[in-house]
Chain A
Amino acid sequence: MTDPLARGDKMPETPVGPFDAAAVAAYAAASGDDNPLHLDLALAARVGFAAPPVHGMRLMAEIAPALAAWRPDMALKRLSGTFVEPLLTGEAAILSGRVLRVDGEALVRISIQGPRRGPSLLAEAVLVPKEGA
């Protein structure tokens, strides 16, 4: 029996990436998001990036599996996030998270932090106990 989530509980830190150009292209194909910003080196350079940034949604895709591995007794009710800083192709990041509030639902603040000052993704997840859990 798992203890209920409590304020301050931390997710285990998980490595995210690095993603190479092939991984970014595979995500573009599967998601349909073929924005050339993520695929075209010259265009990325034109808007000031040393390498094409990884899709923000590719980073957000790391969250639900990490939450499920951490708390398989909880279901995801809401997931939201802001893509603060880019994570460029070839850069590694770390996913971490902490429970901010519990009131029946649990609000978890999650960050995916790359090499820049700000996080590449600052997200919030609302978890609810799975039915029958």
Chain B
Amino acid sequence: MRAERSHRPGEIVLGPFEVATGAGEISAFAAAIGAPANPIPATFPIAWLSAPALKAALREAVGPDFLPVHESQSFDYVRPLVPGAALRLTAVARRESAPERLVVEAEATELSGAPALIMRAALRLVPLAGEEGA
């Protein structure tokens, strides 16, 4: 896992790293949403943002004083998702202020570099400080 600052301030680039497209992960996700595992659930790629290394980096970008609340999400399906496909994900996380927000744009590509999926998550960051005892 590489985590490096890009040339834009406040932006971190994460990856590329391989994502899970195995039948086991897909069927567990499908079971949890009460949907068939075939075709792959359209929202399954959201789980890629919770891969341990990426989740840790995003948590660090949020910081300990904020609670992230999912505000919006998009998926652009460039190619059909196939179980077992070898895909690599690169995510760019950008911190915004007024209001505090973390925007994550991620692209999954095939090993050839051809894009398969683009997703964007916006997390509103709710301040936790000062609410102790409330």
Contact = CB atoms under 8 A, between A and B. Distances in A.
Given A32-B55, A55-B70, A61 B41 contact: yes
Interface residues of A, number: 33
Nearest to B127: A47
Nearest to B71: A83
B81 to A, nearest CB: 11
A58 B35 CA distance: 11
B88 to A, nearest CB: 18
Contacts of B76: 77-78
Nearest to A53: B69
B50 A82 contact: no
B73 interface: yes
Contacts, number: 90
A34 B56 CA distance: 12
B76 to A, nearest CB: 5
B25 to A, nearest CB: 8
B71 A64 contact: no
- Interface size range on B against A: 20 to 34
Interface in A69-92: 75-83
B75 A31 contact: no
Interface stretch (B4-12, B26-34, B90-98, B106-114): B26-34
Contacts of A82: 71-72
B42 A63 contact: yes
A111 B131 CA distance: 32
Nearest to B131: A46
A57 interface: yes
Interface of B: 28-29, 31-33, 35-36, 39, 41-43, 46-47, 49-51, 55, 67-77, 80, 126, 128, 131, 134
Interface of A: 26-27, 29-35, 37, 43, 46-47, 55-58, 60-65, 68, 75-83
